Amino acid sequence: MVDWLQHETGGLLLLCAAAIAVLLFLIIKIKLEPFISLLVSGLLLALAAGLSVEEIVGTALSSKESILEKGFGGILGHIAPIIGLGTILGAILEASGGADVLTRRLLGIFGERGAPLAMGLAGLIFGIPVFFDIGIFVLAPLVYITARRGGRSLVLYAMPLLAGLSMTHAFLPPHPGPVAAAGLLGVSLGWIIVMGLVCGLPAFLVAGVAWGSWIGKRVQVAVPDDYVVAERAREEEGGAAEKRPEPALSLVLLIIAVPLLLILMATFGTVWWEESAVLPVLTFFGNPAVALTIAVLLAMWLLGLRRGIPAAELSELATRSLRPIGMILLVVGGGAFFGAVISATGVGKALAGTLSDAGLPLIVLAYLISCGLRLAQGSATVAIATTSGIVQPLLNGEGYGQAYLALIAVAIAAGSIIASHVNDGGFWIVSRYFNMSVRDTLKTWTVLETILSVTGFAAAALLSLLV
């Protein structure tokens, strides 16, 4: 490494700041793909810090694993099967009509006055297995129908739904962000599920229910009068014939719950049944990849084959659902490589020393870095992957427990969703699907995301004082 960098903390921190500035410049100004931007900025940081070519990329004669291989290979081997299986599970649940069954049952339970809360719970439950944008696409027409029948602003029903979808997407597996953070920080998904729920549910109630009810009465947005609404309304009133019978709500809930319960049992089985012969069984079935495989097979049988969906159609559905996740995996791999470079250059130790001198808690730093990256470039996945890569070296050798590491992951996830605005694709999806102008979207969705972020982080920060 360059001599002056070996002894100058300020120089290392300046290099790290410069690398992040280059990363943001490539993404925001040059419009380069985030994956390529992470790769380029990581390579430039490694070279500027004086790491050897053999350390960075390896050589044909070297058997030692390079930083590039270690960064990409370590994380992708962990998250690729989880994200892939989760994506297939969500696609089957969507195609089976599970969202319609869930939403109608909740609306029947809560009635017209409780319809906003019913929409929020639908987003919360259905958001666990499906991506945020898919959840909007599937559930938005049901929001239209509910708002039209209630005769009130679309915002009143959309905000709780969006809060539920956003919370699960940010805080719970098998979504890419929390899975990536878990892999990079070395924390089990069981603890991510527990802390994600403990911190995310209060955030959902504050942002989706309290804020959604308040702003929904003050921002009037009419239901869009298009063919989707008309078609779904006819189906709701019995005008459209069903090609296949609807799945039972109990099956939908069972399939969503199975992988979560298996993962949790494996996580806490080490505490409850440490010396028991049942522990290896729990460990096997509670492995996230195994648990999700079981859930996917159950979904294929109970929601697919048994209801008359041919195996070939299920196979095509799975193939189609996997196409969008390639870039997500590469972005996460790029973030892991960027973090591996930071660790190898000594930036992590320098940053840890600076934090110690300043008295700034690690969880606060993680949140602030994630917020900054989110605000600058818009992508939550990039913010989580990059922040986790920066923070990971600060955890080495500190002996933090799994609960605390999970709270760090939650703080990073919370920062990654703050203040969604015009540089975020989700902003435009919300604006388009819920018939809102840019101004109304900023007044409703952007504030909702900020409340969700701050409340989720506050819960994580408070809990970090107790674990």
- Residue 8 inside a domain? The answer is no
What is the span of the domain harbouring residue 304? Answer: 16-54+64-464
What is the share, in percent, of the chain residues with pLDDT greater than 90? 51
Is residue 233 pLDDT above 90, yes or no? no
Structurally, the chain folds into a number of domains equal to: 1
Burial tier of 426 (Cβ tally within 10 Å: 0-12, 13-18, 19+): buried
- Residue 339 inside a domain? The answer is yes
> How does DSSP assign 254-306, residue by residue?
HHHHHHHHHHHHHHHHHHHSTTSTTHHHHHHHTSHHHHHHHHHHHHIIIIIGG
Res 402: pLDDT = 94
Whole-angstrom Cα distance, residue 78 to residue 107?
39
Is residue 126 pLDDT above 90, yes or no? yes
| For residues 214-225, average pLDDT | 88
Res 227: pLDDT = 39
- Residue 234 inside a domain? The answer is yes
CA distances from 148 to 1, 163, 221, 228 (A): 65, 21, 11, 13
Res 240: pLDDT = 42
- Residue 392 inside a domain? The answer is yes
Is residue 113 pLDDT above 60, yes or no? yes
Cis peptide bond upstream of 174, omega within 30: yes
Whole-angstrom Cα distance, residue 152 to residue 146?
9
Is residue 237 pLDDT above 60, yes or no? no
Res 137: pLDDT = 87
Place of tokens 């600060």: 394
- What are the pLDDT digits (tens) for 20-77? 889 889 988 888 888 899 999 999 989 988 888 888 988 765 667 788 888 887 788 8
Res 235: pLDDT = 54
State the DSSP H helix or E strand holding residue 250, giving kind and residue range, or none if neither.
Answer: helix 249-272
CA distances from 425 to 176, 274, 461 (A): 16, 46, 28
- Residue 202 inside a domain? The answer is yes
- Residue 10 inside a domain? The answer is no
What mean pLDDT is reported for the chain? 87
Short-list 364, 370, 374, 362, CA closest to 427: 374
* Predicted confidence band of residue 191 (pLDDT cuts 50, 70, 90): very high
- What are the pLDDT digits (tens) for 261-295? 999 999 888 767 767 778 889 999 999 999 999 99
Tell me, rounded to whole angstroms, the distance of Cα 167 from its chain centroid: 8
| HSE of 90, CA atoms in CB hemisphere, 13 A | 30
Burial tier of 367 (Cβ tally within 10 Å: 0-12, 13-18, 19+): buried
Give the 3-state secondary structure percentages of the chain, helix then strand then coil, rounded to 5. 80, 0, 20
Res 2: pLDDT = 46
* Predicted confidence band of residue 256 (pLDDT cuts 50, 70, 90): very high
Place of tokens 């270690």: 70
- What are the pLDDT digits (tens) for 348-403? 667 766 766 677 789 999 999 899 889 888 889 889 998 998 888 888 777 899 99
Short-list 35, 153, 160, 37, CA closest to 103: 160
Place of tokens 């299920």: 314
- Residue 59 inside a domain? The answer is no
* Predicted confidence band of residue 162 (pLDDT cuts 50, 70, 90): very high
> At how many degrees (to 10) do helices 67-95 and 132-150 cross?
30
- Residue 334 inside a domain? The answer is yes
Phi, psi of 401, deg, nearest 5? -80, 170
Place of tokens 């924390």: 187
Res 61: pLDDT = 58
